[in-house]
Amino acid sequence: MQAFFHSRPAAAVLALAACLAAAAQPLPKLKVSNDHRYLETSEGKPFLYLADTAWELFHRLNREEALHYLDKRKQQGFTAIQAVAVAELKGVDEPNANGDLPFENRDFTRPVEAYWAHVDFIVNAANERGLYVGFLPTWGGWVLGAKGKTDEPLLTPDHAGRYGEFLAKRYGAKAVIWILGGDRTADGMEATWRALAAGIEKVAGRDALMTFHPRGGETSSTHFHKDQWLDFNMWQTGHGLAETTRQWAKIRSDWDRKPVKPVVDGEPLYEDHPLAFRPKQYGYSMDAHVRQRAYWALLSGACGFTYGHHSVWQMHNALKHKPVNGPLMSWREALDRPGAQQMRHVRTLVESVNFFERVPDDSLVVDLLDGADRIASARGKNWAMVYSGSGRPFHVVMGRIPGARVRARWFNPRSGEWIREEEIANEGTRAFTCPSEGFASDWVLVLTAPERQSGSR
C-alpha cells in the first residue's frame, strides 16, 4: 500500500483518500418530510426512493455475486435495494448460497448465525455503496398460511415481536427501510404484522422508517393507513396491462388519502415479464413499459418508484434453480437491460427542478387519454411537467406557473437528453407535439419560469 501511494501524484492520493473517507461515512437516516409528501434524510435533503427488486438477494447469491450486483445497481443510479431476509422460494427449507438455513427446524425464534452473518455482509456492502436496503423481514407466505405449498403460518403473533427485536438489534442502526408484508393480503394477519412492527420499534425506536408490501393490486393503506408505525404507503400496482392496471389512479388514491402520508409504487410491471402473466397472448414487457410506470407514478404523486426485472428478482440461474414464470435470461445478463440503464434518467429529471414540492394536476392537460397512451401531469411553484406515455400530442392549459413567458423543453426518458428549448407565451391553451410518436416514444415536456422572472432553476 505504501508503494502505491508513493507512486501517485499528491492530488490523486488526496482524491483517493477522500473517496475512502466518504465510503466510510454512514448513510444518514431517512424520515418523512414535514409536509408528509416525500422522504428525506435526517439532514433535511429530499430523498428519491429509486429502488431495484432483488427479493432473492440474501438467499441465492454468494458474496462475490452480491457485490457484483450491488456495484452494478450503484453505477446505474439506484438509491435502494429491496430484498427479503427469509425468501419466498423455499426460503426456510432451501439453504442459501453458502449452505446455511435461516433457522433451526423452521423456527423463527432459533436463528442460525451463519445465515444471518451473510445477510449482515450484504447489508453492510449495500450501505458502503450508498444504497439503502428495503428490508423485508420475511415473505408474506410464511405468515399467511393455507394458501399454497409454501404458505405456512410459521410466524405468528405469539413470537413475531421477538423476531422483530432480533432483527432490530442486528440492523436497526443500519441504513435500512423496514418493509413488512411480502406479496400477500393482510386479511386476518394484521396482529402478526403489528406485533412484528412493535418488536422492531421496541429496539430501533419510533424513528425506524417502516411500510408494508401488499399483494398485487393492493396497497398498505387498506389495512394499516392509520397505524402509527406505517410511515409511508406502498402499492403493488402489479404486472398487468396499462388499461386494466391504471397505475396512476392507484397512486393518486393514496396521495388523496387522510391523514397525509407519502406513497411509493413498490412493485409495478417488471421488465421482460409476461404481460398480465399471459405471454402467449400478450408477450413480454420491455423497457418502454417500465419507463411508463416510473413516470406515471411520479407525476401522479409517488415519492418513489421500484424498478424490477423478472430474472433479477429471482436471481435466475438455470444451472441452479427452477425458473418462475419463464424468465428469458440469467440474472447477470439482465442487469444491463435497457430499462435498468434508463432508471438513472429518472433521477436526472427529478433533480432538474424542485421536484418534491410537486402536486399532481390533471387539469394542466386537456386530453389525458388512457391505457398505454396515458398522459400524466404535475406542477411545482415555478415548473410544470407533462408525460406522454406514447408520444401522443396534447394541449396544455398555460398560466399555471408564474411569468408572462416560460421556458419549454423536451426530456427524452430513453437517453436523458434535453432538446428543443424555447421560450413561449404563458397564456391560453397551447398544443404540443412530441418529437416522436408511437409506443416506446414517450416524452416529458418541462415548462419552467425563466430565472430572470422567478429565480427558479
* Domain positions in the chain: 28-351, 359-454
Measured CA to CA, the distance from residue 212 to residue 134 in angstroms comes to 11
**Please, what is the end-to-end C-alpha distance for the chain in angstroms?**
45
Set of cell numbers at residue 39: 422522504
Per-residue pLDDT of the chain (457 residues), as tens digits, is 333 333 334 444 334 434 444 445 899 999 999 999 999 999 999 999 999 999 999 999 999 999 999 999 999 999 999 999 999 999 999 999 999 999 999 999 999 999 999 999 999 999 999 999 999 999 999 997 645 445 678 999 999 999 999 999 999 999 999 999 999 999 999 999 999 999 999 999 999 999 999 999 999 999 999 999 999 999 999 999 999 999 999 999 999 999 999 999 999 999 999 999 999 999 999 999 999 999 999 999 999 999 999 999 999 999 999 999 999 999 999 999 999 999 999 999 999 999 999 999 999 999 999 999 999 999 999 999 999 999 999 999 999 999 999 999 999 999 999 999 999 999 999 999 999 999 999 999 999 998 744 443 3
The CATH H-level (homologous superfamily) assignment of domain 28-351 is Glycosidases (3.20.20.80)
* Residue 4, pLDDT score: 30
Please choose, from the candidates 374, 194, 233, the residue with its C-alpha nearest in 3D space to the C-alpha of residue 292: 374
* Contact indicator for 209, 28 with CB cutoff of 8 Å: no
Distant-in-sequence, close-in-space partners of 308: CB < 8 Å, separation ≥ 6: 52, 53, 267, 268, 270, 271, 273
* Contact indicator for 132, 175 with CB cutoff of 8 Å: yes
With 0-12 / 13-18 / 19 or more C-beta atoms within 10 angstroms meaning exposed / middle / buried, residue 378 is buried
Q: Largest alpha-carbon pair distance within the chain?
A: 71
54 DSSP assignment: -
Set of cell numbers at residue 308: 424490477
261 DSSP assignment: -
E strand or H helix at 206: none
Set of cell numbers at residue 377: 401531469
Measured CA to CA, the distance from residue 117 to residue 158 in angstroms comes to 26
Residue 425's Cα: distance from chain center in Å?
Answer: 37
Contacts 24+ apart (CB under 8 A), 368-374: 369/394, 370/243, 370/246, 371/241, 371/242, 371/243, 372/242, 372/243, 372/292, 372/439, 374/242, 374/248, 374/292, 374/296
- The b/e string for 331-363 (b: 16+ C-beta within 10 A; e otherwise) is bbebbebebbbbbebbbebbebbebbbbebbee
Set of cell numbers at residue 29: 437516516
Measured CA to CA, the distance from residue 136 to residue 375 in angstroms comes to 33
Beta bridge partners, 432, equal 394
Instruction: Name the 3-class secondary structure at 56.
Output: coil
* Residue 145, pLDDT score: 61
* Residue 240, pLDDT score: 97
> The domain at 359-454 falls in which architecture?
Sandwich (2.60)
Measured CA to CA, the distance from residue 301 to residue 361 in angstroms comes to 9
* Residue 172, pLDDT score: 97
Measured CA to CA, the distance from residue 165 to residue 156 in angstroms comes to 14
Set of cell numbers at residue 429: 391553451
* Residue 457, pLDDT score: 39
Measured CA to CA, the distance from residue 82 to residue 52 in angstroms comes to 6
Please choose, from the candidates 241, 272, 267, 390, the residue with its C-alpha nearest in 3D space to the C-alpha of residue 336: 272
Q: For the whole model, what pTM was predicted?
A: 0.92
What is the number of other CB atoms lying within 10 angstroms of the CB of residue 423?
12
The beta strands (E) that lie in 412-454 are given as 418-425, 429-432, 443-448
